[in-house]
Chains A and B, each alone.
Chain A
Amino acid sequence: MISSLLVQFSPHADQASVLQMLADHPQIDVGTQVPSGTLPVVIEAEHRGELNGLHDWIASLPGVAAVEVVMVYFDSQNATQ
């Protein structure tokens, strides 16, 4: 499954270290941050449970205020797992 997300930072977040953690993750592609501070990312997972786990992990990073889902591409068998 592939999903694109928008990561919103809180005002005083240490964005550099969060960006580094996201960039280091093998299942996450980091996009170009826009001036508002919103960061587009794409995550890839084997199944929905893993996708949810990745989403929750990003949301739990220090300085991340919110994570919004933009789209999801669900492959054949894994959509409802």
Chain B
Amino acid sequence: MTTACSDRRIPDNSTLARRQFIKASAMAMATTMAAGKATGALPILPAATVVSETSLDVVWNKAPCRFCGTGCHVQVGVQNGRVVAIAGDRDAEVNKGLLCVKGYHVGGILYGQDRLTHPLLKVGDHYRKITWDEAIDVIADRIMAAPSRFAFYGSGQWTIPEGYAAQKFMKGGLGNNHIDPNARLCMASAVTGFLATYGVDEPAGCYDDLDHCDVLIMWGNNPAEMHPVLFSRVTDRRLRGEQVLMIDIGTRRTRTTEKCQHYLEMKGHGDLAIANGIAHQLIKNKTYNRQFVEKYCNFKAPDDANPNLHGRTITFEEYQKLLEPYTPEYVQQVAGVHAEQIVMLGELFGNPNLRITSLWCMGMNQHTRGTAINNLVHGIHLLSGHFGRPGDAPTSLTGQPSACGTVREVGTLAHGLPGGLVVSNPQHRAEAERIWNLPAGRINPNPGYHTVLMWEKFCTPSDQGGDIDTIWVQVTNPGQSLPNLNKLFRPKADLKEKFLIVSEVYPTATTQLADLILPSAMWVEKNGMFGNSERRTQQWFKMVEPAGEARDDCWQTIAVARRLFDRGLDGMKDRDGRFIFDVRDQDGNVVAVWDWEHYYNVNVDEFLFNEYRAFSRFKHKDLAPYAEYVKARGLRWPVLEVDGHWRETKFRFVEGADPYVATGKGIQFYHSSTNDDRAQIWFHPWEPPAETPCDEFPLYLTTGRVLEHWHTGTMTRRIPQLSRAMPGAYLEIHPEDARQAGISSGDMVDVESRRGTIRLPAWISGRGYPPQGTVFVPFFDEMHLINDLTLDAHDPFSKEPDYKKSAVRIKKASGQ
């Protein structure tokens, strides 16, 4: 037992008052939480009252949460140069003062004991501390030796200015286009789904839909754990007595299922058949919205001879014919759900008086037919006319805080340019070269390598076609998050000609193979901007100094660019011979921002963002000036100035709500790929997954996340409260599968796929409930790398791999 120490410090009066106050706040939070449990609410906590307390010498400032794509705002309390408290931000529309358990502990991510604090160069089998100057030279040497064989790998955790700097450095500077983010692994299929349907990326609606829908359908989505604050917006409405019908379509029961009135347990890829089954019902019952379809939609089917995102145009009659096989009975057969459930969904979509919101995230995106299922869900909303009213929309969610802002909008994908432009389009390249003041022809027209291909090339010997020699990783952990790690990451260990640079905050599975490790500043140790899942751009200021010699990722990129400029690399010069990051102060003088001593002499974020803004107008994703985001808790684009005020847009393509819709149009898909203001309703056939269980590997493995840990757990596992609540990965298994294998809860189990094996403890009837024939393993635990087993097969358009359907076998570990 721990006892009170006899030599405890005697606190003075002000300290005592402060402690009493904090204890009272802590008790209030715990009591609210306990009361929430009693009514079956989610682990969402109300805003701490500490925000209103000003007598504690704690300075409070706003920032978005560092974790998920919900984009909750927190108030960060800083005292004596350290983050000492976190509270939900009551002025934030997204979360209205609420935070999930991860958000409440977000301040702790800065203070893990093993922060990386010095640049480290691998020499033989150990690491040597080097100076930043030496580190920048090492990177410059690698790039100068082979600029076309260098790649940059980032993420949706890059801030918008960081991603923009990396994008300009690669596409405007080096011109090899080998830049891609880890968001390729989580939401690329949503992008191709939006593009193929509306001709432009990102949701038409926003989180307000959750406040207005009558029916919420979650497609392979577990927001109760992954986006808990958003989910609570709906469950809270029900607690207030509102009627909201919640439907979970998934491959395992989760905490989300517990709150839903209906659960459709489908087989992997069953979603394709379910969506087609709903469309079939709408047409058979003549309950589709004929007027909406005739006014605003075309029909498309895949062009098998020339697969692309435009497909081939078909008539309504052809569409109807293609759907004929998808009777409720056939859908039951291939998807595993009950025929009556398809009839029920058909009736709901056929009811024009309801408002229906569809939500999805990884379940539909990490799918070898990810583009197709995204198209189909948009399609049933369009076919039924459940589009264009608050609460009536298909809305995708993202897992990372700036997957939308940095990846989709800044365009840090191998084919993209900022603002939704693409490198393969000559006009787009010309526009980018104009804004960046580059000589004509600087931007390479060939897309670079997407994530899977980039890492495959890096892990292939240089003399065998492996033409990526150096990768610089920032703000992500591919050594844990890539699929099929034994193919896409681990071979690097034996390839001496390959060089891995990793900018990181903590040691990770990726730094284990790094040749050069750069310590990075994180979250409120730097200025930043994120863009969340609802098109909301958010801004924050640096509040504390980074640990040791850690520095901003954006500075690192600019410093390397400058070193290359100084060495005479033409790509780092603009048309007038000036450095491509020509940052000026208010008087027009060049600021040496490549020198860390001067980096914060000006606001580099503001400079980069205001330059980037010029791109945002091409696809009507207009952003306001930086200063507007300083004042707001984020603004949803397009943001236009109306009567001297910057006005955000809640619902796109709808007259009255979207300023780009012409008067009298009602709904106008003004980026239509058919140039007729119409969206495309696609037919795609049901197809089985890339890998299905067989005699040798009889179970499906699906992977995902848990409430307590974010992504690969490198931050949340360093927070004791979260780590203790969920200490390690486990194998979730159905009781009958466990019984047949002689496995009890807690037994160690060997899980094996065609690609690898890991050993994990079993958890029967644990957090989630997989059906017989399916097992689930979360991916947050670097001690149990489930991606040793997953498949790298990917969607042909989005190139996003399927982490949800690998065939495995299990065996109780020997020696038990």
**Residues in A lying within 8 Å of B, measured CB to CB:** 2-6, 25-27, 29, 31-36, 38-42, 44, 46, 48, 50-57, 68-76, 79-80
Encoded as 1 (CB less than 8 Å from any A CB) or 0, chain B from 19 to 53 comes to: 10011001101110111011000000100100000
Given A5-B30, A40-B31, A40-B34, A69 and B721 contact (CB-CB distance below 8 Å): yes
How many angstroms between the C-alpha atoms of A3 and B23 in the bound complex?
8
Q: Across the interface, do B8 and A46 meet the contact criterion of CB distance under 8 Å?
A: yes
Q: Across the interface, do A71 and B4 meet the contact criterion of CB distance under 8 Å?
A: no
Q: Across the interface, do A36 and B725 meet the contact criterion of CB distance under 8 Å?
A: no
Chain B residues, CB < 8 A from A2:
19, 22-23, 26
Other CB < 8 Å A-B pairs besides A2-B26, A6-B33, 11 of them? A2-B23, A3-B26, A27-B4, A34-B34, A36-B38, A46-B5, A52-B720, A69-B720, A69-B722, A70-B45, A79-B82
Q: Across the interface, do B720 and A34 meet the contact criterion of CB distance under 8 Å?
A: no
How many angstroms between the C-alpha atoms of A18 and B444 in the bound complex?
70
Residue of A nearest to B107 (CB): A74
How many angstroms between the C-alpha atoms of A35 and B22 in the bound complex?
25
Q: Across the interface, do A53 and B27 meet the contact criterion of CB distance under 8 Å?
A: no
How many angstroms between the C-alpha atoms of A5 and B30 in the bound complex?
6
Q: How many residues of B contact A (CB 8 A)?
A: 39
**Which residue in A31, A57, A69, A79 is a CB contact (below 8 Å) of B111?**
A79
Residue of A nearest to B80 (CB): A76
Q: Across the interface, do A42 and B26 meet the contact criterion of CB distance under 8 Å?
A: yes
Q: Across the interface, do B37 and A50 meet the contact criterion of CB distance under 8 Å?
A: no
**Which residue in A41, A57, A74, A79 is a CB contact (below 8 Å) of B30?**
A41
- Judge if B305 is at the interface, Cβ distance under 8 Å: no
Q: What are 16 of the A-B contact pairs (CB < 8 Å)? A: A2-B23, A6-B33, A26-B4, A34-B35, A38-B34, A41-B30, A42-B26, A46-B9, A53-B2, A69-B101, A69-B725, A71-B45, A71-B48, A71-B105, A73-B22, A74-B107
**Which residue in B19, B23, B80, B108 is a CB contact (below 8 Å) of A72?**
B108
Given A26-B4, A55-B724, A79-B108, A6 and B30 contact (CB-CB distance below 8 Å): yes
Q: Across the interface, do A76 and B104 meet the contact criterion of CB distance under 8 Å?
A: no
**Which residue in B8, B38, B724 is a CB contact (below 8 Å) of A69?**
B724
**Which residue in B5, B33, B80, B84 is a CB contact (below 8 Å) of A70?**
B33
How many angstroms between the C-alpha atoms of A48 and B45 in the bound complex?
23
**Which residue in A5, A25, A34 is a CB contact (below 8 Å) of B38?**
A34
Q: Across the interface, do B29 and A29 meet the contact criterion of CB distance under 8 Å?
A: no
Residue of B nearest to A77 (CB): B82
How many angstroms between the C-alpha atoms of A25 and B3 in the bound complex?
8
Q: Across the interface, do A36 and B34 meet the contact criterion of CB distance under 8 Å?
A: yes
Q: Across the interface, do A34 and B26 meet the contact criterion of CB distance under 8 Å?
A: no
Chain A residues, CB < 8 A from B229:
none
How many angstroms between the C-alpha atoms of A49 and B105 in the bound complex?
17
- Residue of B5, B8, B26, B724 ringed by the most chain A CB atoms within 10 A: B26
- Residue of A4, A26, A48, A51 ringed by the most chain B CB atoms within 10 A: A4
Q: Across the interface, do B84 and A76 meet the contact criterion of CB distance under 8 Å?
A: yes
Q: Across the interface, do A73 and B27 meet the contact criterion of CB distance under 8 Å?
A: no
- Judge if B447 is at the interface, Cβ distance under 8 Å: no
Q: Across the interface, do B30 and A42 meet the contact criterion of CB distance under 8 Å?
A: yes
